[in-house]
Amino acid sequence: MTSVAEVKVALELSCEHLRDAYRSVREAQKDLEAAVDLLLEAGANHPESLLPAGFAAAKDRFPDQLALMVNSLELVQRLAVEL
């Protein structure tokens, strides 16, 4: 049988992983934005866009993913407090 204390420890570990993941995704977002800027600059005098279509789509999805991570973290923290 699992104790409430063990569940709280597992929830805290989940929170730690979510925080780490959030930081990693934010770093990836910044790196992708920098890559997009570089490709746009490099392609300014190029007849075709150097920017892959997937980059723009990925860039647009970051805010939703980050919001989902924040909401998940808040829910896990709330559950830990309620225990």
Question: Considering its fold, how many domains does the chain have in total?
Answer: 1
| Domain range enclosing 15 | 4-82
pLDDT value of position 1: 65
pLDDT value of position 56: 85
Distances (CA, A) of 37 to 4, 13, 42, 66: 49, 36, 9, 21
pLDDT value of position 21: 97
Residue pLDDT tens, the chain, 83 long? 679 989 999 999 999 999 999 999 999 999 999 999 999 999 888 898 888 989 888 989 999 999 999 999 999 999 999 98
Which CATH number do you get for residue 63? 1.10.287
Instruction: Give me the half-sphere count of Cα atoms (radius 13 Å) on the Cβ side of residue 65.
Output: 15
